[in-house]
Amino acid sequence: MPDIEPKLAVDTIRMLSADAVLEANSGHTGTPVALAPVAYEIFQNHLRYDPADPKWANRDRFILSVGHASMLLYSMLHVCGVKEKDGSPAVSLDDIKHFRQLGYKTPGHPESHLTAGVEVTTGPLGQGVGTSVGIAAAGKHLAAKYPDLFDYNVYVLCSDGDMMEGIGNEAASLAGHMQLDNLVWLYDDNEITIEGDTDLAFTENVADRMAAQGWNVIHIDDANDIAAVKAALENFKNTTGKPTFVNIKSKIAYGFPTMQGSHNAHAAVTDAEEIKGAKKHFGLPPDEKFYIPDGTYDHYAAGFGKRGSEAHAAWKKKLDAHADGKAIADLLDGKLPAGWDADLPTFEPDAKGMASRSSSGKVLNALAKKIPTLLGGSADLAPSNNTLLADEDGFLPGTYHGRNFHYGVREHVAMTTVNGLTLSGLRGYGATFFVFTDYCRPALRLASIMQIPSLFIFTHDSIGLGEDGPTHQPIEHLAMMRATPGVYVFRPADANEVRECYKAAMKLEHNPALMVFSRQNLPTMDADTSDAAKGAYVIGPCQGTPDVILMGTGSEVQHLMEAKATLEADGMNVRVVSMPCWELFEQQDDAYKQSVLPDEVTKRVAMEAASDFGWHRYIGPKGKAIAMQSFGESAPAGELFKHFGFTAENVVKTVKSLG
C-alpha cells in the first residue's frame, strides 16, 4: 500500500469523527475536527505505545480530558490498530459506525474499563487533568525505584472547561508543586463554550496562571501547525523540573462552511450538507461516509505502531533481565504479595479501646510493610487521619521514591490523584474528613465507573467528632456513598473489625473502598470478628431464635451490645448484628443472609449516627431506626450522643415500643 501524507491522515480523522456523530445523530463534532492535527502529532510521532499490548507498564499515556470529544480518541485508536487482549480491534469500524449505541465500545464519553486504549474515564470536565497528576506521579515514583525500567510521559488534551473547573486549578497547583516534568497538558484554547464565547464568563490569562503555578508554558497560534506542535512536544521532553502547558489556539469545527468558530458547533449535530462541505474543503470524497484512504493503516503502523512495538520489546528484555522483574510485574498487575496479611495487628478486648482512625493507622502501616505498591496520603490532615506511613519519606520533588503524599488542602485532586496512582498499577490511597466527600465525590464515583480498587480513607465519621459542629459532622454522607453503585463502604465497630475490613478492601480488584473511621475511642469488644469480611455478622449471639435483632455499624454497635444485656435481664432473647459493609453482605448467599437476619424475626431496631436512608431494607416495615433526622450541634461528643438518642437506654426504649 502507498503511504499517505500527514495532511490526508489528519483530515481522515476529522471526517471519520464527523461521520460517526452524524450517524449517531448525537455527539460533538467541533472539537474532534479542530484537534485532529494535535492528536495526530502526539500519536504518530511521540507517543510510545504498543498497539498490540496497550497495558504494558512503561507505555506513555494519552488522556482525553476533553471527554466529549471522544470520537477523536476512537478514530485514533482505530486507525492506529490498537488491540484488545484477544487481538481484536479496540475500536472497530463497526464500533465507530455505532457511536453512542448500546453494546458497542464507543460510548458518548470514553470509559477506561470498556475500551482498550482509553486510559481514564472522562467526561466530567477536570477529571482527566486531575487524574493525570496521579498517573504522572506514579511514573515518577516507579522511575525513582526502578530507573532502568520506567520513564514514561503523560500527554493530556484539555479544554476551557477543564481550566474553569476548580479541580483543574487544584491539579495544576499540585502538579506544579511536585515538578512533574513527565506531564504535558495541551490546552485547546478555542474561546468557545456552550453558551457562547468564553468572554461571557472566563477572561483570565490561563497561561500566566499556569506559569505562576510552576509550569513551563508554550504558545501555539494555530492548531493546524503540526510543526509547531512537534516543537512544543520536543520542548516538553527536554524540560526538567516543571510540567509543561501548551496553549493552543484553534477554531472549533475548523473547515466547516457555516459552523467554524461558532459555539453552535460544540454539541450541535452537524447536518449532512455541512459535512459534505467540510469534506470538499479537505479534498475528501463528499458522498463517501467513513472514508479511510488506502495506506492509512500502514501509515500509522510505520510510525506509531513500529516505534511502540520496538520500545516495548526492548523494555521487556530489561524487565526479564531484572532481578525482581517477575515480582515487579506481578505487583503492577494487582497481585498481592505472599503473606501480605500475615502480620496485621490483633487487638485485645479493652473497654476504653481506641478510635478507629487510630487502629486504622496501625493496620495501614502493617499493610504497607508487606505491600510495596501501597502509597498515598492525606489532604493536609495526616495527623488526624493517621495515614502517615512510618519510616517512609514524603513524595516530594527530588524524593519521588517516597510513599507519603501531601496533597495539601485540595480534597478533590487528592482523590483524582489516588485514581491516577491506582490506574498505574499502584495501590493508591487518599484521606480527609468524611464530611469532605462533598468535595471528593466526582472522583469517588469515577473510581467505581472505572472499576478500579482505589482506597479512600475518611475519619471523623459522625456527630462523634464533637465541638466542631454541624459543618463538620457528616449526616447524609453514608447514605450518599452507599447509593453509589460499585462502591464498598466500610464502617467498622472496633479495632479488630478495622483489621478485617482492610483485609476485605485489599482483596477488591474492580471496586473502590471507602473506609469510614471515628474520631472518638471505641471499645475493643470481646468477639470473633472474622465474619466482618462478609459484610454483616452476629457479633452478639443468643440462644435459639431471637425475639429482636439489633443492628448497626461503627460507634453505635457498643450501645447495641449494652442494650442487649439490659433486655436479656428482662427476659428477651436478643441478637446483635454488626454490619460494617452492606455491599459485602449483599454478595452473600441467601442461606448466610438468613442465618444473620432471619425473615421470621420482624422485630428489629437499627442504630446509626447518620441518616436512616437505606436502613429500611434491613429493618422491614415493623422495625425502627434510631438515626439522625437533622444536622448536628456543637458540643462534646458524649453530650451529642445522648442529646440525639444514641444510647443503650434509647435502644431499650425503642425495642419496647415495638410491642
C-alpha grid cell for residue 524?
475493643
Query: From CA 579, how far away is CA 619, in angstroms rounded?
Result: 12
Cβ atoms within 10 Å, residue 84: 14
Query: From CA 567, how far away is CA 572, in angstroms rounded?
Result: 6
Let me know: does 269 contact 27? Beta carbons within 8 Å. Answer: yes
The partner residues of 625 in beta bridges, in order of sequence, read 606
Instruction: Tell me if residue 411 is catalytic.
Output: yes
What is the phi/psi pair of residue 654, to 5°? -70, -40
Query: What residue has cell string 493508591?
Result: 428
User: How far is Cα of residue 371 from the mean position of the Cα atoms in its chain?
Assistant: 20
Query: 618's torsion region: left (phi>0), alpha (psi -120 to 50) or beta?
Result: alpha
Decide: residue 1, CB within 10 A, 0-12 exposed, 13-18 middle, 19+ buried. Answer: exposed
Query: From CA 126, how far away is CA 132, in angstroms rounded?
Result: 10
Query: What residue has cell string 475490613?
Result: 501
Let me know: does 357 contact 366? Beta carbons within 8 Å. Answer: no
Is the Cα dihedral 91, 97, 102, 107 positive or negative?
positive
Give, to the nearest 10 degrees, the angle between helix 648-657 and helix 557-569.
Answer: 60
Query: From CA 94, how far away is CA 114, in angstroms rounded?
Result: 16
C-alpha grid cell for residue 613?
436512608
- The DSSP code for 149 is T
Query: From CA 553, how far away is CA 561, in angstroms rounded?
Result: 12
Largest CA distance in the chain: 91
Residue among 251, 203, 234, 245 at smallest CA distance from 33? 251
Query: From CA 573, how far away is CA 581, in angstroms rounded?
Result: 25
Query: What residue has cell string 459534505?
Result: 276
Cβ atoms within 10 Å, residue 258: 13
Give, to the nearest 10 degrees, the angle between helix 166-178 and helix 411-423.
Answer: 70
Query: What residue has cell string 516530594?
Result: 396
Among candidate residues 119, 165, 170, 411, the one labeled active-site is 411
Query: From CA 416, how far away is CA 65, in angstroms rounded?
Result: 13
* Edge-to-edge strand list for the sheet holding 61-64: 61-64, 154-159, 183-189, 244-249, 216-220
Let me know: does 161 contact 66? Beta carbons within 8 Å. Answer: yes
Query: From CA 136, how far away is CA 180, in angstroms rounded?
Result: 7
The partner residues of 576 in beta bridges, in order of sequence, read 540, 550
304's enclosing H/E stretch is none
CA-based angle 495:499:503, to the nearest 5? 165
- The DSSP code for 89 is B
Query: From CA 405, how far away is CA 388, in angstroms rounded?
Result: 9
Q: What is the 3-state secondary structure (H, E, C) of 339-352?
A: CCCCCCCCCCCEEE
Let me know: does 410 contact 174? Beta carbons within 8 Å. Answer: yes
Q: Which residues are catalytic?
A: 411
